[in-house]
Every structure is written in C-alpha cells, then in structure tokens.
C-alpha cells in the first residue's frame, strides 16, 4: 500500500506520466514523459513555416528570392506573442509573414495612412479577414494609434514615399510617434531603396529612392538608437541612377535594412 502511494506521488511530482511494468520477479517503475518529446521550435523553423503558409499568394512567393523574407524576419527578431505594426502594407506581402510568426498570442496591425486609404483599406481588410490575429488601422501617420504598445514597427519600401511633398507628411512627427507607440526596447525596422551618396531625399519622388544616411539621421533625431543593418538585399551592381520602377531593375534594386531601437 505504501509502495503504491509513493509511486503515485512520484508520478504526480514528475508531471510527465508514469508507467509500471510487471515481470515474473519484480515490479519495475519507469517515469517517462506522458507524450513523446518534440524538438523545440527555433526562430528559423518558425520563419520557414511562415514562408510555406498556404495563405500566401503565389505572386508573393515568387518574389521571395529577391526579397529575402527569412532575413527580414530575423532582422526584427520577430517571435510568438509579439505585437507589430506593418506601416502601409499594401497587398500584404510582409503582413502575411508576420501573422503566422507572432501567432495567436501576438497581433499584427495593418496600418493604412489616410493618404492611401481609398485604395488600400480593402487590401488591409482582406488581410484582417484572412488572419484572426490581424486588424486594420487607418489614420494619420503623425498620430497613429494602437490599442496596445508595440514590439516592432516595420516599414517596407515605404519611408521614401512619406518624404515626397505631395504626401504632406511631417516625417519628423511620424518618427516621434513611432517612438511613442513602441515599448521600451522596441524596434523600428525600415527597408528601402538606396539612393546615390549625397542624394538625401531629393529623388524620393522621381527615382523612389532615399539615401540611407539621411534616413538614419532623421530616425535618430526622434530618439532612436541605431541597432544594426542587414546586407541581405544589397545589390552592388545597382548604380542608383534608375527609377525603382524601371523594367531593367524593378525588384532588383540596391536596398538597405536598418534596425533602430527605442532605449530602455
């Protein structure tokens, strides 16, 4: 009776199941996991699962070799439970990757600027109906608001547009607002097309490029700390003189990815 009680106690404490095997000579007790152990998911495996998610559009999957999405996800250290805003997601190439990675415990905000809402709200609504952890937010970039603090804010090839005068965006105010909506230690990750050295924002409206050094200057002015860059989508053969929409270079431009961190 005492032996049985002890065995029961050991099994309960182990919290992992208990198997009693009887033989002709003795009773042997083996404490083992109730279920077979599984390999713990790694960031790489989570990103691979997102890339193979069946909800991705075929035309977006075809862009993967040039866009290096696994490198982008790693750059922002995206994890289950994270809350991320995809600023001006358009058709949702990156949103469709973010949603599976952050999972049910996280959230993705597909933020559509007022300036493009007439055309792009429908895209974001489609994303929200496809992914239960995704919602559309439409608003002004300088006063963007979310219902919880963010771990990451991402802009994919959009920042340069916001510096074009016709968009009428106060970029300094936008960057300050990004700073405010992030958690301490949160990341601001920006992917964009590189302009020639010294170009600043002068070709944003013509070539749709921005000089990385100028973008960094603007973002750091809002209080961010530069936290690294990725060379995954750099293209040294691009001489930075063509529009990103030129057929000879479209999708193959020299791009930079900068990561900024909000101080703790």
Per-residue pLDDT at 41: 81
**Per the structure block, which two tokens stand in for 65?**
């070799």
Q: What are the residue ranges of helices labelled H in 23-114? A: 43-51, 58-61, 64-67, 69-75, 95-102
> d(Cα 172, Cα 163) in Å, to the nearest integer?
10
Q: Which CATH architecture has domain 43-261?
A: 3-Layer(aba) Sandwich (3.40)
Average pLDDT over residues 235-248: 96
Question: Contact, 194 vs 212, CB < 8 A?
Answer: yes
The residue extents of the domains of the chain are 2-31, 43-261
| DSSP H or E stretch at residue 2 | helix 2-14
Backbone angles phi, psi at 230, to 5 degrees: -120, 140
* Whether the predicted pLDDT of 20 surpasses 50: no
The confidence band for 220, taking pLDDT boundaries of 50, 70 and 90, is very high
Average pLDDT score, the chain:
88
Q: Which of 57, 47, 53 is nearest to 80 (CA)?
A: 47
* Whether the predicted pLDDT of 16 surpasses 70: no
Give residues with Cβ within 8 angstroms of 93, minimum separation 6.
60, 63, 67, 156
Query: What Å distances lie between residue 232 and 62, 65, 95, 217, 254, CA to CA?
Result: 17, 11, 19, 22, 10
Model confidence pTM above 0.95:
no
Per-residue pLDDT at 118: 96
Per-residue pLDDT at 160: 98
- For the stretch 39-48, pLDDT in tens is 468 999 999 9
Per-residue pLDDT at 40: 63
The confidence band for 77, taking pLDDT boundaries of 50, 70 and 90, is very high
> d(Cα 42, Cα 45) in Å, to the nearest integer?
5
- For the stretch 121-139, pLDDT in tens is 999 999 999 999 999 999 9
């Amino acid at each position: 009776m005492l032996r049985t009680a002890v065995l029961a106690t050991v099994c309960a404490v182990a919290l992992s199941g208990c198997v009693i095997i009887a033989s002709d000579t003795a009773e042997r007790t083996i404490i083992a996991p109730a279920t077979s152990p599984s390999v713990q998911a790694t960031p790489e495996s989570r990103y691979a699962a997102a890339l193979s998610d069946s909800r991705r559009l075929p035309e977006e999957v075809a862009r993967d070799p040039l866009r290096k999405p696994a490198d982008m996800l790693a750059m922002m250290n995206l994890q289950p439970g994270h809350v991320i805003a995809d600023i001006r997601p358009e058709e949702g190439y990156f949103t469709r990757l973010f949603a599976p990675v952050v999972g049910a415990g996280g959230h993705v905000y597909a933020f559509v600027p007022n300036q493009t809402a007439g055309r792009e709200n429908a895209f974001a609504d489609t994303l929200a109906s496809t992914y239960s952890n995704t919602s559309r937010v439409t608003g002004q970039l300088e006063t963007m608001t979310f219902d919880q603090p963010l771990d990451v804010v991402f802009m994919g090839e959009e920042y340069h547009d916001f510096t074009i005068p016709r968009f009428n965006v106060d970029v300094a105010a936008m960057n300050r607002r990004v700073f405010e909506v992030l958690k301490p230690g949160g990341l601001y990750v920006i992917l964009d097309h590189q302009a020639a050295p010294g170009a600043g924002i002068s070709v944003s409206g013509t070539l749709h490029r921005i000089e990385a050094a100028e973008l960094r200057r603007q973002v750091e002015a809002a209080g961010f700390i530069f936290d690294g860059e990725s060379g995954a989508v750099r293209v040294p053969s691009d001489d930075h003189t063509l529009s990103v929409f030129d057929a000879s270079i479209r999708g193959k431009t020299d791009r930079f990815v900068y990561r900024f961190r909000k101080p703790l």
